[in-house]
Structure 1
Amino acid sequence: MEKRNYPLIYLFLLPSIVMFLVFYLVPIITVFTTSFTEWNGFNSPEFVGMGNYIRLFANKAFLYSLRNLLLWSLIAMTLHVGFGVLVAFILFRKPKGWKFTRAVFMVPNVISTAAWALIYKFIFNNDMGILNNLIRKVNPDFNVQWFYNSPYAFWAVTFTWLFFAVIVTLIVLNDLMAIPEEVNEAAKVDGATALQVAFKIHLPLCRNSIGTAMILSITSRVAMYETIVLTTAGGPGDDTMNLPLILVNSIMNLKHGYANSIGVIMFIIGLATLFIINKSFRMNESVY
């Protein structure tokens, strides 16, 4: 490309660069700098050093949030992503009714997170919920308030997202469909079974999409707010407490500096997730 075209390229990039600086970089810098201050959002921030972080790590709710996040992340990167990958491999074989199944699988993701949380609140309701009424067909004495009793609340929240992995499915399915047909034909010529092709050829070739799905799934757990606030509000006790809930509560109490220290922790967790999975799945390397 001739150098004389560079000014035009920079001109087209300018709006995106300005938007990135104004709406991303400046807020990120503000969050980091004000996390070291005592700030109520109205008066000028007062520098307190590591005070917010010391208070944060001394807060039991924060430690419980990290524990819950770790458990949810492990579930997300194994069961949640695993289920989405399994569905993708099944749909890739195009069984009878696969298009209808793909469309139905999309439905929960069309509904907003808040609406889906309220739907599940009724599903898990002890008196009129579908789940408990089905269980009482076998055990008439069964009575559990799923979102309000420990340890059931943690698993009730988990089930609101665990099996709705359509984003994972679509990403991996797209990767499967991009595999050159020559690769499949060569495997058939060599006498590979369908199972061998799936595990030894297709699965390794989909490592980038699976890694991407893991990043999306884990970071979604880091930012999970609506589902918890509309079902358990972090309870019972601290069974479903998480970082966004503490952050929002801190803002409501005009503790913006403290809230931003939580934002910094969430930002670091997101970057660490990106780095670890990127390295583990060798996502910067070509798969072919």
Structure 2
Amino acid sequence: MSTLTSTARSRAAATDTAPARAVGPSRRRAARGWLFLLPLLALNALVIGAPGLMSVYYSFTDWSGIGPAQFVGMDNYLRLFSDGAFLQALLNNLWWTVFFLLVPISIALAGAFLLSRTTRGQVIYRVVFFVPYTLATIVVASIWSNIYSPEYGLTAVLGLDINLLGDPDTALASVAVANTWQWWGYLMVIFLSAMSSVNPSLYEAARLDGASGWQQFVHITIPGIRPTLVFMALMTVIWSFLVFDYIYIMTGGGPAGATEVVGTLLYTTAFSTYEAGYAAAMGIVLALISVVMVGGYLGLRRWRGWEV
């Protein structure tokens, strides 16, 4: 009887100590992992976290960018929604977002679908279409500024008296076209990679059923690459609200604020009129828009069960 009792106790003790023994190495591995990540986390906290927190603080102050800052509470944020220049810049950002959600993505989808059906020279086409994306923005913007020049550009060659970058009605669209020329090739390569994972037997079955190329694209290709398509649409929205370089180089926000976006207005406000606190409030609004977009995407992906 005593032998059976001691045996049962030893088994119970072994059962209790087994998880502890198993957890010990696991915790050590996790600790080592965090130890290796610590320098990167510290760098991110220093380079991203600290400036971000400072921006939040200065957005509640009246600060010129030099010297002490005076706390003004919500005044900067209240001023934003009554500032005609900011509202116009935000409207231009919305126009830019809609344009890039429709035009470059549509061109990239069509190009990727046609290229996916090409068996010869596909790599060459990929390189040719991707090359503009590898060029520096200043180079591409300068090239297109010369193309739009009313003195020696395309319109001058065609004999048209049009200043595309100098007309408020055409300036923003002209800059968007220049950016599209560089951007759509990158999207096409992303979509083409996603299309390569679609099961080819689905296309064969659709062809046997008499489906046209358009029907295959709508009912097979789009559902097959939907997670990638939605993710790139999300990134397009975020990048559209952060656009700065093309507009600053080609028009500087002009003429008469026709191409002004929040990024260029923020830069001008901080470094020309020296209202760094007000500019910080603009930056926080842009950050909040990005957070809302990312949160909406993550919620949609979880709801639909999509994986990228």
Q: Distance in 2 between matches of 1:225 and 1:195?
A: 36
What do the CA deviations read for 1:67-97 (whole angstroms, capped 9, x no partner)?
A: 1111111111111211112111122112544
1:224 aligned residue: 243
Partner residue, 1:243: 262
Match of 1:22 in 2: 46
What is the letter of the counterpart of residue 174 of structure 1? S
Q: 1:5 to 1:102 in 2, by over 3 A?
A: same
Q: How far did 1:190 drift?
A: 6.3
Matched ranges for 1:160-175 at <5 A: 160-164=178-182, 165-175=184-194
| Alpha-carbon distance between aligned partners in 2 of 1:270 and 1:260, rounded to the nearest angstrom | 15
Judged with a 3 Å threshold, the aligned counterparts in structure 2 of structure 1 residues 279 and 192 are, in CA distance, closer, same or farther, namely farther
Between Structure 1 and Structure 2, the one with more helix by share is 2
Q: Partner letter of residue 156 of structure 1?
A: S
User: Please, which of 162, 169, 183 is the counterpart of residue 151 of structure 1?
Assistant: 169
Q: Is the CA contact (8 Å cut-off) linking 1:146 and 1:152 kept in structure 2?
A: yes
Preserved contact between residue 40 and residue 257 of structure 1 (Cα < 8 Å):
yes
What's the offset of the Cα at 1:228? Answer: 1.2
Note if contact 2:155-2:162 (Cα within 8 Å) is conserved in structure 1: no
Q: Report the CA distance between 1:64 and its aligned residue.
A: 0.7
Matched, 1:233 2:233: no
Cα deviations by residue, 1:79-136 (Å, 9 ceiling, x for unpaired)? 12111121111221125443222211122211111221111110011121024423x3
- The change in CA–CA distance for 1:97 and 1:270 in structure 2 (over 3 A counts) is same
Identify which of 279, 287, 302 aligns with 1:259.
279
For 1:50-89, list aligned pairs within 5 A: 50-89=74-113
Task: Work out whether residues 109 and 166 of structure 1, in 8 Å CA contact, stay in contact via their aligned partners in 2.
Answer: yes
In our comparison, the structure showing a higher alpha carbon Rg is: 2
Unpaired segments ≥5 residues, structure 1: 137-141
Whether contact under 8 Å (2:179, 2:246) holds in the other structure is no
CA RMSD of aligned residues (A): 2.4
Q: Is the 8 A contact 2:301 2:307 kept in 1?
A: no
Query: Which blocks of at least 5 consecutive residues in structure 2 are unaligned?
Result: 1-24
Question: What is the Cα deviation at residue 260 of structure 1?
Answer: 0.5
Contact 2:147 2:154 in 1 (8 A): yes
- The answer (yes or no) to whether the contact 2:132–2:181 under 8 Å persists in 1 is no
**1:129-183 deviation digits (Å, cap 9, x = unpaired):** 024423x3xxxxx201111112011211111122431221122111111234555
Question: Which residue among 120, 123, 132 is the counterpart of 2:147?
Answer: 123
Cα distance change on mapping 1:126 and 1:55 into 2, 3 Å: same
Equivalent residue of 1:148, what SS? coil
**What amino acid sits opposite 1:232 in the alignment?**
T
Distance 1:169 1:232 in 2: 28
**What does the per-residue CA deviation read over 1:25-53, in whole Å, with 9 as the maximum and x for residues that have no partner?**
22222111210011123322211011112
Partner of 2:65: 41
Q: Which secondary structure state, in structure 2, belongs to the residue aligned with residue 160 of structure 1?
A: helix
The answer (yes or no) to whether the contact 2:129–2:185 under 8 Å persists in 1 is yes
TM-score, normalised relative to structure 1 = 0.88
- Give the alignment partner of residue 32 of structure 1, picking from 56, 62, 69: 56
Count the aligned residue pairs: 282
* Cα distance in 1 between the residues matched to 2:32 and 2:138: 44
The offset of 1:273, in angstroms, is 2.5
Matches of 1:48 and 1:257, distance apart in 2: 10
Q: Contact 1:207–1:283 at 8 Å: present in 2 too? A: no
Paired with 1:30 and 1:63, the residues of 2 have a C-alpha distance of 25
TM-fit CA distance, 1:204: 0.8
Go from structure 1 to structure 2 and tell me whether the alpha carbon gap of 1:126 and 1:96 turns closer, same or farther (over 3 Å shift): farther
Of 279, 288, 291, the match for 1:268: 288
Q: Percent identity?
A: 25
Q: Which amino acid aligns with 1:46?
A: Q
Cα displacement (A) at 1:2:
2.8
